[in-house]
Amino acid sequence: MISLGDSIALLGLLPPTPILEVHHLAGLTPEQFDPIAESDTSRLDLIPNMVYGRNSRDQDFGGMYCAILTVNSSVVSSGVIRIFGSVVAELPLVATSNDSQGQGYFQLLFFCIENLLDSLNVRNLVLPAADEAESIWIKKFGFKKITEDQLKQYRRDYQMMVFQGTSMLHKSVSRS
C-alpha cells in the first residue's frame, strides 16, 4: 500500500538504451517474461531489442520510451511506451517489481501515463494483453477488445507491436 511517508516520483519518458538497469530493477527484463515474438515474424524474442532500442530486420523500435515510477528512490514500476502522434500510442510492455506488486504502484504509473497522453492530445491507447491479464485491463483500466478492422487500420498506418498469444485492446484517452 502506498503510504503518506513515501516519496513518489514519475521520472518521465526516458529512452530505453541508457536505462537498462532501471528495467532490471522494475522487473522489465527478458528473464521475467516468456520470449515474446511478433505475431507475423519469426520466433525472434523481441524483448531485448525493445529494452536496448535495437531495430530488427522486421521491426523498428525507434521512438520507444520508458515511463518509470520510483518510491523512495527505488524503481517500482515501469512501462515501455511509443507515441505515434495524436491518433494513437502503444504500451507494449509493463512491469512492477515483485515485492511492489499489489500495492497500487502500477495503477499510479498508468494514471500518469494517461495524463501525459492526454496533455499531448493523444486520442487512443493500444496494448497487447496476455490472456491471463486481459480481464484486468478491461475491468480495472477500461480497455476494450479492438475490432479486426481497427487493428488492420492501425497496423497499416503504424508499426505497432502485436505479440503471439495476446489480444489487442484499446481505450480512448480521457479528456480533462
Rg (CA), the chain: 15
- Judge contact between 2 and 100, C-beta under 8 A: no
Q: What pLDDT, on the 0 to 100 scale, is given for residue 53? A: 63
Average pLDDT of the chain, as a whole number: 76
pTM over 0.85: no
pLDDT over 90 at 140, yes or no? yes
Q: Measured between alpha carbons, how far apart are the two ends of the chain, in Å?
A: 27
Order of strands across the sheet with 8-14? 8-14, 64-71, 74-83, 88-96, 124-130, 166-172, 144-145
Q: Which three cell numbers stand for residue 77?
A: 514500476
- Residues of the chain with pLDDT > 70, as a percent, come to 66
Q: What pLDDT, on the 0 to 100 scale, is given for residue 110? A: 93
Q: Which of 24-33, 75-84, 89-98, 143-152 has the highest mean pLDDT?
A: 143-152
Q: Which domains does the chain have, with CATH numbers?
A: 8-172 (3.40.630.30)
